[in-house]
């Protein structure tokens, strides 16, 4: 049955189709995530922007209370029952499908041992040879199994010891004078310094810990561009921030926006917005671009979650910091003002907190 807006949730055959209809419901409303959150609050519902963006990004059935809050925020109350009925039908279908799914039969797994050596069994049957008793007259070979394993382990240990003893001293110590090991000669083989844990994250400037790095606008000489700014964390999603660590230890800072899609923070080079971070262009994370790679290192003297971001593209040591005014390239570092822009600037020791970020899981 079609409800307001011409949508028919009862015809959704899969959770993915159901969520697709919810996306159309949101789009047809013409409301932003913030407006939907505010309208839901006016009706006594809780519909966080970050939750809604996450729900509409996936293809899994959302919780019933999220569906009800979204439908009420987008249209009349009488539509809610139809949406919830369709959701319940799909949820019940998933539950029944899970119950009917056959359990693993154990195929491909070794049968449980009864202590008899496999050599004593008839190949392909798992039975003892005919004519042999299966009772007390049978010779049990279980004790041999750990003895064989122990002997093999002893052989491996002896081989390892011999290899270490026979190695030249310089190869055992990695001394560069003797050529060294592969790890000492090849930087790519050396362990990468530990950085923050990759994954969905929040970046909060130490100088303004209630603010988060997110999307905003900078205006310079009458031009406006979407760049990274600091805003209250309650307003910072979407976009969501994802830290991707590469094999060389560098990081890509990705943004995922339900409307604009994915983007990678890019240090702008030249022009009025020089040094600012732009997710430019949306849906273009260029493989290997140094303008989109960052060293993320522990801040000297800071806590375990305090980090500095250094753009990989610059020969001189630059650090990402916060600048209050987008139009003042020499403006003061650090600011607790919402809307202040993030920019790559010369690393500093004095007032270093303006270039330090708290990185934590989302």
pLDDT tens readout for residues 224-256 = 888 999 999 988 888 999 999 998 899 999 999
pLDDT at 352 over 80: no
Sole residue written with tokens 């100088």: 207
Task: Assess contact for 246 and 252: CB atoms under 8 A.
Answer: yes
Average pLDDT over residues 336-362: 85
| Run of H or E including 196 | none
Given pLDDT bands bounded at 50, 70 and 90, which one contains residue 301?
A: confident
Q: Please measure the distance between the N-terminal and C-terminal CA atoms of the chain and give it in whole angstroms.
A: 39
Average pLDDT over residues 5-20: 90
pLDDT at 180 over 50: no
The percentage of the chain sitting over the pLDDT mark of 70, rounded to a whole number, equals 67
Task: Assess contact for 309 and 360: CB atoms under 8 A.
Answer: no
Mean pLDDT of the chain: 75
CA-CA distance, 213 to 341, in Å (whole number)? Answer: 9
DSSP H helices, the chain, are: 15-29, 33-42, 49-57, 64-74, 80-100, 144-166, 169-173, 182-185
Report the range of poorest mean pLDDT among 119-133, 224-238, 332-346: 119-133
Query: Which residues have C-beta within 8 Å of that of residue 257, sequence separation ≥ 6?
Result: 215, 238, 239, 240, 263, 282
Average pLDDT over residues 85-106: 76
pLDDT at 297 over 80: yes
Report long-range pairs for 20-29 (Cβ below 8 Å, ≥24 apart).
Answer: 22/55, 22/56, 22/62, 22/67, 22/70, 23/56, 25/70, 25/71, 25/74, 25/75, 26/52, 26/56, 26/70, 26/74, 28/74, 29/73, 29/74, 29/75
Identify the DSSP state of 281.
Answer: S
Given pLDDT bands bounded at 50, 70 and 90, which one contains residue 134?
A: very low
Task: Assess contact for 159 and 152: CB atoms under 8 A.
Answer: no
Average pLDDT over residues 267-283: 84
Q: What is the β-pairing status of strands 341-346 and 199-205?
A: unpaired
- Whether pTM > 0.85 for this model: the answer is no
């Amino acid at each position: 049955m079609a409800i307001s807006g011409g949508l028919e949730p009862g015809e959704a055959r899969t959770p993915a189709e159901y969520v697709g209809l919810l996306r159309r419901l949101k789009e047809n409303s013409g409301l932003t995530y913030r407006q939907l959150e505010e309208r839901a609050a006016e009706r006594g519902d809780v519909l966080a922007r970050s939750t809604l963006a996450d729900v509409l990004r996936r293809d899994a059935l959302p919780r019933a209370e999220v569906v009800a809050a979204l439908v009420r925020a987008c249209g009349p109350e009488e539509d809610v029952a139809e949406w919830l009925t369709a959701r319940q039908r799909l949820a019940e279908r998933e539950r029944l499908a899970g119950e009917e799914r056959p359990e693993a039969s154990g195929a491909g797994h070794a049968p449980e041992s009864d202590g008899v050596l496999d050599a004593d069994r008839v190949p392909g049957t798992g039975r003892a040879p005919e004519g042999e008793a299966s009772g007390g007259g049978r010779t049990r070979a279980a004790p041999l199994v750990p003895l064989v394993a122990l002997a093999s382990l002893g052989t491996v240990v002896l081989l390892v010891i011999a290899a270490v003893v026979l190695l030249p001293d310089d190869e055992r110590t990695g001394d560069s004078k003797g050529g060294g090991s592969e790890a000492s000669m090849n930087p790519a083989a050396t362990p990468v310094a530990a950085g923050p844990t990759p994954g969905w994250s929040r970046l909060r400037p130490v100088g303004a810990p209630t603010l988060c790095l997110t999307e905003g606008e900078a205006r310079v000489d009458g031009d406006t561009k979407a760049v990274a700014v600091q805003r209250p964390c309650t307003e910072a999603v979407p976009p969501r921030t994802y830290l991707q660590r590469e094999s060389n230890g560098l990081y890509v800072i990705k943004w995922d926006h339900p409307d604009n899609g994915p983007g990678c923070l890019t240090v702008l080079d030249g022009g009025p917005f020089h040094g600012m971070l732009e997710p430019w262009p949306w849906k273009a994370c260029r493989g290997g671009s140094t303008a989109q790679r960052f060293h993320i290192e522990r801040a000297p003297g800071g806590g375990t979650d305090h980090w500095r971001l250094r753009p990989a593209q610059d020969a001189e040591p630059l650090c990402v910091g916060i600048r209050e005014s987008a139009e003042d390239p020499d403006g003061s570092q650090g600011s607790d003002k919402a809307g202040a822009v993030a920019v790559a600037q010369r690393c500093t020791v004095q007032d270093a907190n303006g270039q330090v970020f708290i990185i934590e899981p989302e």
